[in-house]
Amino acid sequence: MIMVIIPPMQRLTIQRQAILDLINSSNRHWDAEEVNRELSDRGQSVGIATVYRGLTALEEAGLIEGIQFYDRKRYERADKSHHDHMLCTVCGHIEEFSHEKIEALQEAIALEKDFEMTGHQLVLFGLCAVCRNASK
C-alpha cells in the first residue's frame, strides 16, 4: 500500500479512479475522447465533461501527466521518468525519449535569460521508421 498525497483534488471518486486505472494500465497517450470511449466499452461509462474534469484533477494531483500535442491534450502515466516525445506525422505513432543533456541545457538557458521555467515541451515531428520504409 502506497500512500499518496493529493493536494488539489478533494475526492478520488469511482469515475476518477476508473480514469486513473485506465491510464495506469497502459503506456498509451490518451486524449479525453479515447478515455471516454474506452470506459464506455468497458461498461464504466463516464460523462465526457467528467472525463475532462477528472483528467485535469488527476494531472494537478500529479497522478497522471498531461502533454499538449499539436491539436489536443494527451495524458499518460505519471510513474515514468521524465521524457519528451517524437510524433510520426503520418501514422500518429508517439515515441518517447529522454536526454539528460537537453534538460540541463534548457535549465541553463532559462537561468541565463532570467526566466523561471515551470515546464517545457519538446516534440520532434517527422516519419517513424515504419512509415519511412512504407513510403519508399
Partner DNA sequence: TGTATAATGATAATGGTTATCATTCCACCC
Partner DNA sequence: GGGTGGAATGATAACCATTATCATTATACA
Q: Which residues bind DNA (CB under 7 A)?
A: 9-11, 13-16, 31-33, 45-50, 52-54, 56-57, 71-73
Chain length of the chain: 136
Nearer to a copy of itself, 34 or 84 (CB): 84
User: Does residue number 81 form part of the binding site for a copy of itself (CB under 8 A)?
Assistant: no
Residue 123 engages a copy of itself in binding (rule: CB under 8 A): yes
Beta carbon nearer to DNA, 22 or 54: 54
Residue 28 Cα to chain centre, angstroms: 8
Q: Which of 85, 107, 68, 79 is nearest to 23 (CA)?
A: 79
Q: Which of 42, 49, 106, 134 binds a copy of itself (CB under 8 A)?
A: 106
Shortest Cβ distance from residue 15 to DNA (Å)? 3
Please, what is the Cα angle at 58 between 52 and 61, to 5 degrees?
140
Q: What region, left, alpha or beta, does residue 116 occupy, with left being phi > 0 and alpha being psi -120 to 50 degrees?
A: beta
